[in-house]
Structure 1
Amino acid sequence: MFEVLDDSGVGLSGGEALLDGRERRLVEGAANFYALAGPGQTFRLTVLRGPAGTMPALTDEDRTTIEWEDDREVVGSLVVRSLVHTTADHSPSDGLVDIAIDIGGAPQSVTAYHQLTGVLGKARKAVRFLAPVQFDALRQFRTDMVERKGRDVPRKAPVRLTRGAEATPHGDTPAILFGLHWLELGGAERWAIDTIRLAKEAGFTPIVVTDRDSAHEWITRPELDGAVVVPLTLPLDPKQESAFLNGLLSMYDVRGIHLHHCTWLYDKLPWIKSIRPDIPVVDSLHVLEWRTGGFVDISVRLSNMVDQHHVISPQLRDYLIGKHGLDADKVVFATLAGLTTGGIAAGGSDAVENNPFTVAFVGRFTQQKRPYLFLQLAAELKKNSPREVRFIIHGHGELAAEVNSLRARLGDVVELRGADHAVSDTFRDADVLVVSSDNEGLTLTSFEATAAGVPVVSADVGSQSSLIADDLLCPRHPYAFVQAAAARIRTMMTSPDQRKTWLDEQAAKAEAFAKLPRAEDWTRDLYQGWLK
């Protein structure tokens, strides 16, 4: 891909390193991009570090500007020569190309609401953080209106070309191109990382492109060792977009594309199909976003460029086939059941009457997961409960400051756990898991709770009804959710038999899911087919 000619403080060549492992991977990702976009060229990368919380800027069109903000520190420099060769109709320019890349600062979660500007933005931010539950109630009414109205998603015209791979010469190394949102904790990201592992096991070189601003805390995961990782920061120079993809398609024998929530790569599919119609494209879809359409509607719009849509829930299958009329043969329903349950032992808490009844939340602290609503439920149960109760809220994320503030009002009855605690321990300690999300596909935590023998009280969103006991599905609206969830949990406290009945129903649904095709098996077979 590239060779290091001079390395001062960066450490890619094994010398003195003033960067940590995450930062070095970011620099390597930037070097990958410029090597692919500039075959044969030599680049000098000046590496900057920003204050904590600032996002990396690695590939955007401002990188050729050799000046930067006063609060940036120059960490080192790196001179690399691209080893990429392409038959595209251009020659590498002579001399050195100077690039200033910014690896950002130490990771720091900040919610999008904090970044709102203008009078309206400031008003939304104030209401959101002064009255989160009331603000959420307004969001849910908006969701109701969109859901009732529905959406028509026009599809992009298909590419009608017949020439094959010989139209674009390529390298000999079999590769799969992956498009990801970012390299951070999340259910979709966990599945994406697993598919990258499966690609390596099949003998492919994974090429991993992300398009969302992020500190990419998962960029050092072992599944990415040996992969070509390119964390894009947008907007790219338009000339570099095609140059980057041309370099990638020329350097590697790309046998397939697997999309996991990457808008930039979705938008490039018509161009890719126009020059390489032989490359199969699949995507994996998780959550239907009622307010925005999200990646599911992007996938529908570009369905003529996608050979197969992988969905993880019956809701998404029915939406694509029933609502939008996609060919049933193109939609593959394969579950993520068992994806994250390997280290979780069956059993769970015994809900002993003399012990405090433990109510748990496991998930990211984001608007979608609504941890503030779980804490509202905790306040309700603390105030009016038939027996002693305690709460565990396990996770981290952009709403951490809000979670800490709300938790402090409840006192020692709420335990906060983070990455220093194993999730399996939380399930072992729990008598019930609460999923308070305002939207989901089918939560991995519900599968994990079932494996641990813990019943789940959930908002009735996405395909949660496929796994959760019918009586434990609660309205999505915040006040109705708190009221219904509190009532079900109080029943569990006083009636172990009813708790067991609900858990048995949940286990039966999970057993039925276990008989369905598994996403890991389907993907493994898919990649084996791409090797032939």
Structure 2
Amino acid sequence: MTLETVLGQPALFRLTRSDELPAHLSVRESRLLVGALNFHALMAPGRELTVHGYGGGWDSLPRTTDDSTFNGLSRAYRSREFTIVATSLVPTDPREPIVGETRSLALTAGSVRHVHISRDAVLDFDPPRDISPNPVRRVLRAIRARTPLLYDELRDVELLRHRGALRKPAPRREYEAEFQPGGIHSDYEIVPAAPPADLAPRAILFGLHWFELGGAERWAFESVRLAREAGFLPIVLTNRESHHPWVARAELDGALIIPFSDSTSRSQTPGVEELLSALLQSFDVRGVVVHHNQWLYDRLHWIERSRPGIPIVDSTHIVEYRGGGYPLSSALVTEAITTHHVISPTLKRWLVEVQRIEADKVIMAPLGGLTVDLKDATFRSRAPGEPLVVAFIGRMARQKAPEVFAAMARRLHRTRRDIRFVMHGDGEMAAWVDDLLRSYGLEGVVARRGSSIPVADTLEEAHILVVPSHNEGLTLTTLEALAHGVPVISTDVGAQADIVPRRALVPRNAHRAARMLPRLVGRLADDEEARRQLWRDERNAEKKLLSNESASEWFAKVVKSW
């Protein structure tokens, strides 16, 4: 396996000097490096580049595409590990530069590049997203560490100013006007991409959030696999920096991957879009699919202008309380989108009734079939004398509210020693959650598990799944739990009410959830028939939802039509 062909991953460059490359790069490390080199090959068509590679610790995220990779101005470039020379195989663009392109051309004109690819050892640590030099953020972290539910309350108060955006239609983006006198890009002009080269490979362009564990990512990876099976080359861009632990997954075999690091947009000229121009000229891109990628949302109008009539599909899962999140970003640019795919009736209603998007543009296709099988499920009975096992499964991130689960467990443990708890998941808050459990006296009471243990193992032990999230769409863990015979109780967020009945929902307010969840768990612990009936009701609601065509079935048909 050579660097240029990591499990079939296309390379847009040829290595002319590689003697300093580390002898043993993992698939993950190789894919990140190839992705960085592909980006720079696209940004420097036909040129030879000297690329310095650097190492770093767990708290240094990869630098692959941002402005510092052109000029070396980053603290990430302190420990050089190798130097290679690569020649771009991307055809040169014969067009003349436009007025306003001077800055980006000056940034990209040099022949030296700098990249930092984190080694696999960093995956043993929590992601470094909770580190900030900002003194205000340090104070907030201290509040969260000592009184996490109060911190949640303060966050909710701050979020009130964003709620108005959830109840009114978003103004549509007027792309052309931005380049006219008085517009934000009036110093630039729109330069569409040239036609693709003759016999260019057929491709589909995907915009993902990152290569990390999550329900949205599972669906995004499945859509990439379906595109490859339909005979297309998947071109996969991410726009959230990360160590990308999932980039080595088999669904990405054969894909052209470009994992962004922050601030990439500053090396692009509005209206010109050097990276996308190079991609659209090098490949016959037949469609675009967006999975929570703001960088690509911002460029959909330009793509549609470059390739009129190209199908553009956006897939969203969750309306975020902070101003609507990605569904709102989608509504802003709906004129450039062919189809809005959503995974729940709740989100479809929001796009149609609040955002006033044409109903026939919004397709509801749930994520059935990714991890669950409707055909075979039986209730997970509790044997006589068996302690009740209550589980949390999800990323250790603020959205998932692990602190609410911990508060619930502390309240229950004071009076109920017949209940066991499991918290299963990794993430940027994992170490903080462990500290919180210790401060609550729950070390040894709450079992902690990471992603090295299959989720199925936890669900085969559990009797109740608790979803205490501050914000959600419709969680895949809910569907997975029901498939294992485990009923679900949840905060009333997102589309959880499409499955979970009202009697098993609690308010999303952290203090109220922390008070009400223990009562609900206690009632189910004492009434096996009530727990069984809850599972039956949720299973019936799930069957009704999943009787719709699944996202995989729908997208497989769509992509074949491209």
TM-score (norm 1): 0.91
Shift in Å, 1:181: 1.1
State the secondary structure of the residue aligned to 2:460.
helix
State the secondary structure of the residue aligned to 2:320.
coil
Amino acid at match of 1:188: A
> Are the counterparts in 1 of residues 193 and 280 from structure 2 also a CA contact under 8 Å?
no
Structure 1 counterpart of 2:214: 186
1: CA distance between counterparts of 2:131 and 2:460?
36
Amino acid at match of 2:430: A
Shift in Å, 1:367: 0.2
Structure 2 counterpart of 1:265: 296
Structure 2 counterpart of 1:419: 451
Structure 2 counterpart of 1:173: 201
2: CA distance between counterparts of 1:487 and 1:52?
41
2: CA distance between counterparts of 1:70 and 1:269?
32
Structure 1 counterpart of 2:521: 489
Structure 2 counterpart of 1:50: 56
Structure 1 unpaired stretches of 5+: none
Shift in Å, 1:134: 1.2
> Are the counterparts in 1 of residues 374 and 483 from structure 2 also a CA contact under 8 Å?
no
Specify which of 102, 105, 124 is matched with residue 140 of structure 2: 124
Residues 26 and 343 (structure 1), Cα distance of their counterparts in 2 relative to 1, 3 Å cut: farther
Residues 279 and 70 (structure 1), Cα distance of their counterparts in 2 relative to 1, 3 Å cut: closer
1: CA distance between counterparts of 2:553 and 2:174?
32
Determine whether 1:509 maps to 2:541: yes
State the secondary structure of the residue aligned to 1:412.
coil
Specify which of 228, 239, 245 is matched with residue 211 of structure 1: 239
Give a deviation string over 1:58-78, Cα, whole Å, max 9, x none.
Answer: 122222325764872211122
393-402 vs 56-65, which moves further: 56-65
78-87 vs 108-117, which moves further: 108-117
1: CA distance between counterparts of 2:77 and 2:96?
38
Structure 1 counterpart of 2:474: 442
Shift in Å, 1:452: 0.5
25-34 vs 108-117, which moves further: 108-117
Amino acid at match of 1:6: R
Shift in Å, 1:373: 0.9
2: CA distance between counterparts of 1:451 and 1:70?
45
For these two proteins, the number of residue pairs brought into alignment is 518
> Are the counterparts in 1 of residues 392 and 422 from structure 2 also a CA contact under 8 Å?
yes
> Are the counterparts in 2 of residues 159 and 305 from structure 1 also a CA contact under 8 Å?
no
Specify which of 434, 455, 458 is matched with residue 404 of structure 1: 434
> Are the counterparts in 2 of residues 344 and 424 from structure 1 also a CA contact under 8 Å?
no
Specify which of 85, 91, 94 is matched with residue 91 of structure 2: 85
> Are the counterparts in 1 of residues 406 and 437 from structure 2 also a CA contact under 8 Å?
yes
> Are the counterparts in 2 of residues 38 and 243 from structure 1 also a CA contact under 8 Å?
no
Determine whether 1:472 maps to 2:499: no
Structure 1 counterpart of 2:422: 392
Shift in Å, 1:116: 5.5
Shift in Å, 1:100: 1.3
Residues 68 and 330 (structure 1), Cα distance of their counterparts in 2 relative to 1, 3 Å cut: closer
Q: How does 1:232-271 map to 2 (within 5 A)?
A: 232-236=260-264, 237-239=267-269, 242-271=273-302
Shift in Å, 1:141: 4.1
State the secondary structure of the residue aligned to 1:368.
helix
2: CA distance between counterparts of 1:183 and 1:166?
28
1: CA distance between counterparts of 2:482 and 2:170?
36
Give a deviation string over 1:445-483, Cα, whole Å, max 9, x none.
Answer: 000011001000100100101111321111111222122
Determine whether 1:75 maps to 2:67: no
Structure 1 counterpart of 2:17: 6
Amino acid at match of 1:156: R
Give a deviation string over 1:147-173, Cα, whole Å, max 9, x none.
Answer: 46735421013769xxxx996234521
2: CA distance between counterparts of 1:99 and 1:343?
51
> Are the counterparts in 1 of residues 408 and 517 from structure 2 also a CA contact under 8 Å?
yes
2: CA distance between counterparts of 1:405 and 1:96?
47
State the secondary structure of the residue aligned to 1:278.
coil
Residues 235 and 368 (structure 1), Cα distance of their counterparts in 2 relative to 1, 3 Å cut: same
1: CA distance between counterparts of 2:525 and 2:223?
41
477-486 vs 263-272, which moves further: 477-486
Shift in Å, 1:234: 3.3
Q: CA RMSD in A?
A: 2.6
1: CA distance between counterparts of 2:132 and 2:364?
37
1: CA distance between counterparts of 2:545 and 2:326?
24
Residues 30 and 501 (structure 1), Cα distance of their counterparts in 2 relative to 1, 3 Å cut: same
1: CA distance between counterparts of 2:72 and 2:162?
47
Give a deviation string over 1:191-236, Cα, whole Å, max 9, x none.
Answer: 1111001111111100001111111111111111111001122323
Amino acid at match of 2:173: K
1: CA distance between counterparts of 2:194 and 2:428?
47
State the secondary structure of the residue aligned to 1:326.
coil
State the secondary structure of the residue aligned to 2:309.
coil
Give a deviation string over 1:5-37, Cα, whole Å, max 9, x none.
Answer: 1113336xxxx34x4332221110011111122
State the secondary structure of the residue aligned to 1:458.
strand
Residues 6 and 348 (structure 1), Cα distance of their counterparts in 2 relative to 1, 3 Å cut: farther
2: CA distance between counterparts of 1:45 and 1:39?
15
Specify which of 348, 351, 354 is matched with residue 323 of structure 1: 354
Structure 1 counterpart of 2:154: 138
1: CA distance between counterparts of 2:211 and 2:355?
31
Residues 475 and 45 (structure 1), Cα distance of their counterparts in 2 relative to 1, 3 Å cut: same
Structure 1 counterpart of 2:9: none
> Are the counterparts in 1 of residues 194 and 277 from structure 2 also a CA contact under 8 Å?
no
> Are the counterparts in 2 of residues 447 and 510 from structure 1 also a CA contact under 8 Å?
yes
Structure 2 counterpart of 1:333: 364
> Are the counterparts in 1 of residues 169 and 356 from structure 2 also a CA contact under 8 Å?
no
Structure 2 counterpart of 1:309: 340
Structure 2 counterpart of 1:27: 33
State the secondary structure of the residue aligned to 1:446.
helix
Structure 2 counterpart of 1:97: 111
462-471 vs 431-440, which moves further: 462-471
State the secondary structure of the residue aligned to 2:471.
coil
Give a deviation string over 1:247-290, Cα, whole Å, max 9, x none.
Answer: 11111100000001111111111222222113211110011011
Amino acid at match of 1:98: V
Give a deviation string over 1:119-152, Cα, whole Å, max 9, x none.
Answer: x333222212221111112323444564467354
Amino acid at match of 2:111: V
Shift in Å, 1:368: 0.4
2: CA distance between counterparts of 1:143 and 1:98?
44
> Are the counterparts in 1 of residues 126 and 431 from structure 2 also a CA contact under 8 Å?
no
Shift in Å, 1:378: 0.7
> Are the counterparts in 1 of residues 193 and 277 from structure 2 also a CA contact under 8 Å?
no
TM-score (norm 2): 0.87
Give me the identity figure in percent: 35
43-52 vs 360-369, which moves further: 43-52
200-209 vs 105-114, which moves further: 105-114
> Are the counterparts in 2 of residues 38 and 244 from structure 1 also a CA contact under 8 Å?
no
Specify which of 63, 68, 71 is matched with residue 62 of structure 1: 68
> Are the counterparts in 2 of residues 390 and 414 from structure 1 also a CA contact under 8 Å?
yes
2: CA distance between counterparts of 1:3 and 1:509?
54
Give a deviation string over 1:456-514, Cα, whole Å, max 9, x none.
Answer: 01001001011113211111112221222212211111111111111111111011112
Structure 1 counterpart of 2:325: 294
State the secondary structure of the residue aligned to 1:516.
coil
